[in-house]
Structure 1
Amino acid sequence: MKLALFDLDNTLLSGDSDFEWAQFLIGKGVLDREVHEARNIEFFEQYKAGTLDIHAFLDFQLAPLSRHSRSELDTWHGEFLATRIRPLISTAARELVAKHAANGDLLAIVTATNSFVTGPIAREFNIPHLIATIPAQENGRFTGQPRGTPSFREGKIVRVDAWLESLGLWLGGFEQSWFYSDSHNDLPLLEKVTNPVAVDADATLAEAAARRGWPHISLRA
């Protein structure tokens, strides 16, 4: 068996689903534009710079989920998927996933973005496994806090290892393993697979990929 892991934002998607979700809620008037837009942009820039405090970001990103019912959130997400996410999915991204699926590889998206936002996107790609930051719930409502280890930087390794262990597998046991990512924040997991692939990479990752002889591909439309 072979393993194919995919980062989501700016990798399979030609954009960032976390950022787009907040902007979507701002556009609907659910979040105050003046208060949230600048903060959303600030966190996005910190992520790109490698200085993001994941816990501060999750406090910001998960709080809106706690203020609304799940049915209301699900209705909004259907609109979000149709208007904001599908336009960010290129034919090349779909074909890459389909190629690995046709080869019988074990597929998973591994993303720092929370599972409420990313679950329907994983289903859109027909990827059966999702390793994402988990928003905590109580009595059917989100609490605004994360549960367990955030799927970010070294946390992605922790979460992938736990997932594979639950299947009776381990990362080193695969004949071949791939991880596709755009971000230098994913270098820890890229270094763990047999086939790391940079995808439309940021400058830091592009430099590291060139230095190490890793392939660098584009999935942009």
Structure 2
Amino acid sequence: MSLAIFDLDHTLLAGDSDHAWGEFLASRGWVDPDAHRRANDRYFAQYQAGQLDIREYLAFALAPLAGRERAELDALHREFMAARILPMITASARALVERHRARGDRLLIVTSTNRFVTAPIAREFGIEHLLATDPEERDGRYTGRVAGTPCYREGKVERLREWLAVHRETLEGSWGYSDSHNDLPLLQLVAHPVAVDPDEILRREAERRGWPIISLR
């Protein structure tokens, strides 16, 4: 049994759940639509360019969750899943996950998007193990701050190493799937890195290293 590690946005999903959540909040009037969309698009462009200040972005992304009743947030997320996320899940993405499951591999999603947004998506794929950026909670409500290390770039590696130690797992024979050059620190650790519909930087690196390049679209 090997470990199969999946990035989420633009890898298992044909889109970005974090950016889509911001768009969804704007469409529902939870945030100022114009200002939020402008900031959301700006941060997304910075992420694509590898220039994102993750702490600054998370202060923006988690603010709309702060102080809300959990039941209210969960109800909104169910709408979000139906309207925005399920259309992003391709048959090819589901098939890839199922191939690893059928082999007996242990499945793990590692994503920079926060756990509130991504935990229901992991459940949709039937994947038990999820490493994501954790929003801080106090008295049953989110504070708008981050708990622990953001699961981004080198932070993914740090969080993964901690998870491996806790679960007594190794990267021997492991697989790693991602679309983004931001995940190069993680892809370089696994035994079988795979570029999925990669950005140009990751495509060039994958070609240079002889990594497989696949599409789930």
1:16 aligns with 2:13: no
Aligned to 2:181: 184
Residue 179 of structure 1 contacts residue 195 of structure 1 at CA under 8 Å; is this kept in 2?
yes
- Residue 93 (structure 1) aligns with: 93
| Maintained 8 Å contact 1:21/1:117 | yes
Spell out, residue by residue over 1:7-51, the C-alpha distance to the aligned partner (whole angstroms, 9 max, x if none): 000000000000000100100111111211100000000000000
1:62, 1:135 within 8 Å by CA — same for their partners in 2? yes
Q: Per-residue CA shift, 1:90-110, capped at 9, x if unaligned? A: 000000000001111011000
Alignment partners' CA distance in 2, 1:72 and 1:194: 42
The ranges of structure 1 where at least 4 consecutive aligned residues each deviate by more than 3 angstroms after the TM superposition are none
**CA offsets 1:61-83 (integer angstroms, 9 cap, x no match):** 00111042111000000000011
Amino acid in structure 1 at the alignment position of 2:212: P
SS of residue in 1 equivalent to 2:45 = helix
Question: Residue 136 of structure 1 contacts residue 147 of structure 1 at CA under 8 Å; is this kept in 2?
Answer: yes
Q: Please give the alpha-carbon distance, in whole angstroms, between the structure 2 residues aligned to 1:86 and 1:79.
A: 10
Q: Which residue of 1 aligns with 2:147?
A: 147
Matched, 1:82 2:79: no
- What is the CA distance between 1:170 and its match in structure 2? 3.1
Question: Alignment identity in percent?
Answer: 56
User: Whole-Å Cα distance in 1 between the matches of residues 141 and 104 of structure 2?
Assistant: 37
Aligned partner letter, 1:34: D
- Number of the residue aligned with 1:127: 127
* Residue 160 (str. 1) matches residue 160 (str. 2): yes
How far has the Cα of 1:169 moved from its partner?
2.3
SS at match of 1:121: helix
Question: Is the counterpart of residue 195 in structure 1 residue 192 in structure 2?
Answer: yes
Paired position in structure 1 for 2:213: 216
Quick check: 1:169 aligned with 2:177?
Answer: no
**Unaligned ranges ≥5, structure 2:** none
* Amino acid across the alignment from 1:212: R
What residue is the counterpart of 1:58 in the other structure? 58
User: Over aligned residue pairs, what C-alpha RMSD do you find?
Assistant: 0.7
Task: Provide the secondary structure at the position in 2 that maps to 1:179.
Answer: strand
Partners of 1:9 and 1:16 within 8 A in 2: yes
Counterpart for residue 115 of structure 1: 115
- Partners of 1:164 and 1:140 in 2: CA distance: 28
SS state at 1:151 partner: coil
User: Which amino acid counterpart does residue 170 of structure 2 have in structure 1?
Assistant: W
Aligned residues: 217
SS in 1 for 2:66: helix
Mark the runs of 5 or more structure 1 residues left unpaired by the alignment: none
Q: Return the letter of the residue paired with 1:9.
A: D
Q: Report Cα offsets for 1:178-209 as digits up to 9, x if no partner.
A: 11000000000000001000000000000000
Match of 1:2?
Answer: 2
Counterpart Cα distance in 2 of 1:103 and 1:49: 36
Q: How far apart, CA to CA, are the structure 1 residues paired with 2:141 and 2:110?
A: 24
Q: If the length of structure 1 is used for normalisation, what is the TM-score?
A: 0.97
3-state secondary structure, aligned to 1:30? coil
Question: Which one-letter code corresponds to 1:23 in the other structure?
Answer: E
